[in-house]
Structure 1
Amino acid sequence: MSSMQFSAPDQRQASGFAHDDDLPLAGLRVLDLSQGIAGPYCGLVLRQQGAQVIKVEPPQGDWSRHMGRGRDGLSAIFLTCNAGKQGVCIDAGTPEGRAQLQRLASHADVIVQNYRPGVADRMGVGWETLSERKPSLVYVSISGWGGSGPMVHMPALDTTMQAATGMMHANCGADGKPRRVGLYVVDYATGLYAAQATLAAVLRQARTGRGRHVEVAMLQAAAALQNYLTIDAAMFPGQDGVAFNAPTGLFDTRDGRQIYVSMLNDAMFQRLALALGMAEWITDTSLHASSGRRHRAAELNQALGACIAQGTLAHWTELLARHDILFAPARRPDELPQDPQVRHLKVFADHAVPGLGTVPLAGLPGAAGGAQMLEPAPRLGEHNAQWLGQDSAAAFASSG
C-alpha cells in the first residue's frame, strides 16, 4: 500500500493540498460549519476531490470528537470525517466570534452547515444574507427533517431516523424484532447525497456564475436508500415482505468461522445443488424458479446450513468459487485492510496521526489517485493563527 506523507504543521499550512491541479476541485474553498457525521462527511468528499476545506468548531469542539471511544481528544468518527481539513475554533456566541465567522464566510465558494433552522441566520451566516453579498455562493444546509414543515425543529440522529423511516423494520433480526443497522448509514448516505448535490451546484456555478441553496435532509436520504421497499409495499399492500431468493444467509463453518451465501438466479441454484450433491433439489421442479424457492426459504436455508457446518471456511471458499456461487467470508472490520484484493486496489492508505500512530484511511472511491494524501484531522483550533490571525489576509490571498 502507498503511505501518506505529511509535512511539518507550518509547511502544511503554507502548501495546501488544494493547489494540486490534478484534482477536479483544486482552488475551491469550502467553509465547513457542520458537526457530527453527515455534514463533515460531505466536506470530506469535497476535500478528497481537491477542495480546500476550513472546518469551524465551537470552543467545546465538534461533538463527534467524543463519539464512542476516544484517544487524546479524537475519535474514529472525527478522524474519518475530517481528514485533510484545516481547523479553526470560533466562539460564535460573541461579537468578535461572529465577525470572524462572517469574514471566513465572505471568502468561501461553498458553505456547509447543519445548524437547526434559524441558527445560522442569527449568526449572520444564513443563506439569504450571504447569497445577497455573493450571488455565486453554493450554500449547503443539512438537516434531519428538512428546512420547513411540522417537524422542522425536531432533533434527529441516525438511529432515530432509522426508526422513523422503517429502516429498523427492514433490518429485523431472527426474532422478528426491528433493530438498527450497526453503521451510521443514514448519516453517511446524507453526506454523500449532499456532496453530490453540491458538486452539481458547483458545476452550475461554473457554467452560469449563479449560486444555489442546496438543502438535504436525513429523512430524504433514508427514504431514497430504501425506496424499493416502499415501492414493493405499494405494489403488494397489506402483505409482509418475502425473501428475494433462497437459499441465502449467514452460515457457520466447521472451524468456527461464518460465510454468507447469496443466491442470484435459477442457474446459480442449479450449480449450488450440483456442488453440494443435492439431487433432490435438482429433481424437485418446484425449486427450479426463484418464485418457488422463496416460499421454502427456511427449509432451504436449514439444509444449506447443515452442509456448510460439515466443512471448513477454506473448503467452502474453494468449492463455491469453483462453481461460481456468490459468497463471502464474514470478516471483522479490522481484518479488511489486510485482504489481498483490498491491498491490491489500495483501498486504504497508511494515515499518520500525531500522538496516535498510523491508522487505515479509506480513499474516495473513483477519485483520481485512489487513497488521497490527506493531512490528519485538525486539532481543535490548530489553524487559528493562519485564518484568524494578523496574517490571515495573506492566507486568503495565497490559497484557494
Structure 2
Amino acid sequence: MDLPLAGIQVLDFSNYISGPYCPMMLADMGAEVIKVESHQGDMLRYFPSTLPNESRMFLGLNRNKRSMVLDLKQPEGREVIYKLVKSTDVVVENFRPGVAERLEIDYDTLSRLNPRLVYCSISGYGQRGPLRNKPGFDQVLQSFGGVAMCQGREHGAPAIVQGSVIDYFTGMMAAYGVMTALFVRERTGIGQKIETSLLEATMAIQAGRLVWAEGEPREVQRDLHGGISGIYETRQGYIYVSAHTQKFWSGLCTVLGLEHLIDDPRYNSMAKRSAEAVPLRKMLGEAFLQKTADEWEQLLEAHGVPCSKVRPLEDLFDHPQVLANEMIVTLEHPVVGRFRMIGLPLKLQKTPGKIRRPAPTLGQHTEEILTSLGYTAEEIASLREKKVI
C-alpha cells in the first residue's frame, strides 16, 4: 500500500530547526521533499558536532529529503523554482517577513503559477506587529514568552528549558497547518497560505497557563508546582517521583518506611503537602539516600507510584521499551557511515510512514532534480558555470 502522503511534493526553503522539522514529518509519511539550499547550505549544517564533517542536528532533522543547491538571487535560479512549483503541493519557508517577497518566491507569486499550492510561512514573532522583523530563536522566545520565568520561579532565577522545545513544537504546528490545508484542498480544490511563528507556538504550548480570569491579580499561581514531586538524589543516581494524589502519597510513604506520615493531619491533602513541601522534601530526601535509584525504581513501581530513574539520553538507544516500539532505526550516510537515530514517532496502522533515506549532503540531488525538469547536460553545466547551482 502507498505511503499516506505519496504523490505530495514539498519545496523546503527552511533553515535551523522549526522549519526543517515540519517537512521532515511530511517526508516520513511519504511526501517527496526537495530541500532548496544556498551554496552555503542550511545553517544547521554548521552547528557544533562531534561527528566528522556533519552536524548531528542536521542529520536528525532532514532525513527523507533530497537536496538541491540554487542561488535564488539569480533569475535562472528562480526559474527552476517556477518550473518546480507547477507540480508542487506544499512550500515551507522560515525567512524573516519580506525576504520571500524580495526573492520573488512568496505566496502571491507562486500561487499565480499554481492556485492549488499550500504555502507555509514560519517566522519568529508573526507576520505583523512591531516585532515582525526581529530574529526569533527558541531560547529568545522562551525568555520573551514567559517560559524561562515559569521554569525558574521555584528557584528564583529564570531558566531555559533545554532541547529546543519551542522550535520542535513550532514545526509540529506547521505540519498540523499543512495537513489541515491539504485536507481543505481535497474538499475545495483551493490552496492557501498558512502562517505560524515561534511566538504563537510559545503561547500555544502554555495553553494551561495562559488563562486570566477577570478580577484576578497579576501575580497568581499559574502552575501546579511540584510540591513533594520532583527529582531526589539517591545512594547512586537520581530518581523522579510523582506523588500528588493521596494514593501515590500513601505508596511513597510505605516504600520509604515513612508510614506514620500517610495520615498525619499536617499532610493529609495535596494542598497541605504542597504548603509543607520544604520540610517534607527534606525528610523524603534523607530516606532516598538509603538505596540506589535502580532499587527505588523497582520498589516504587511495585507499589504503583509513578517514577523513573533519571537516565542519560544514550540509554534510550538500547532500552527494551524503546526498541519494542521501533523507535530506533539504523541508516547509512555517505559521510558519517552507519548511524542510529529516532524512528517514526507516529504509527498509522494501515498506511504507516517509512524512513527511506538519511539526510542529504549539500546539493546531493541537484542534477537529478534538474534532469527531471527537462534540463540538458549542457544547460546544467551552464547553470553551474554561472554559479546558479
TM over 0.5: yes
Q: Is there any run of 5+ residues in structure 2 with no aligned partner, and where?
A: 377-389
What residue number does 2:365 align with? Answer: 383
What residue number does 1:29 align with? Answer: 9
Alignment of 1:203-214 (within 5 A): 203-214=183-194
CA 1:259–1:49: 2 relative to 1, 3 Å? same
1:152 to 132, 143, 156: 132
2:204 counterpart of 1:239:
no
% identical aligned pairs: 34
3-state SS of 2:173 partner: helix
Contact 2:30 2:354 in 1 (8 A): no
Alignment of 1:1-400 (within 5 A): 21-69=1-49, 71-172=51-152, 175-231=155-211, 237-240=218-221, 243-255=224-236, 257-368=237-348, 372-389=354-371, 391-393=372-374
Q: Distance in 2 between matches of 1:22 and 1:329?
A: 41
> Offset of 1:243 from its aligned partner?
4.8
What residue number does 1:4 align with? Answer: none
Q: Distance in 1 between matches of 2:50 and 2:356?
A: 21
AA at the equivalent of 1:392:
L
Contact 2:111 2:117 in 1 (8 A): yes
3-state SS of 2:262 partner: helix
Bigger shift: residues 233-242 or 118-127? 233-242
CA 1:371–1:249: 2 relative to 1, 3 Å? farther
Contact 1:32 1:56 in 2 (8 A): yes
What residue number does 2:381 align with? Answer: none
Bigger shift: residues 349-358 or 228-237? 228-237
> Offset of 1:273 from its aligned partner?
1.6
3-state SS of 1:377 partner: coil
CA 1:150–1:242: 2 relative to 1, 3 Å? closer
3-state SS of 1:303 partner: helix
TM-score (norm 1): 0.88
Q: Distance in 2 between matches of 1:97 and 1:245?
A: 54
> Offset of 1:338 from its aligned partner?
1.2
AA at the equivalent of 2:374:
A
> Offset of 1:232 from its aligned partner?
6.6
Contact 1:249 1:301 in 2 (8 A): no
CA 1:300–1:371: 2 relative to 1, 3 Å? farther
Contact 1:66 1:73 in 2 (8 A): no
Contact 1:282 1:288 in 2 (8 A): yes
What residue number does 1:6 align with? Answer: none
Q: Distance in 1 between matches of 2:80 and 2:120?
A: 20
3-state SS of 1:359 partner: strand
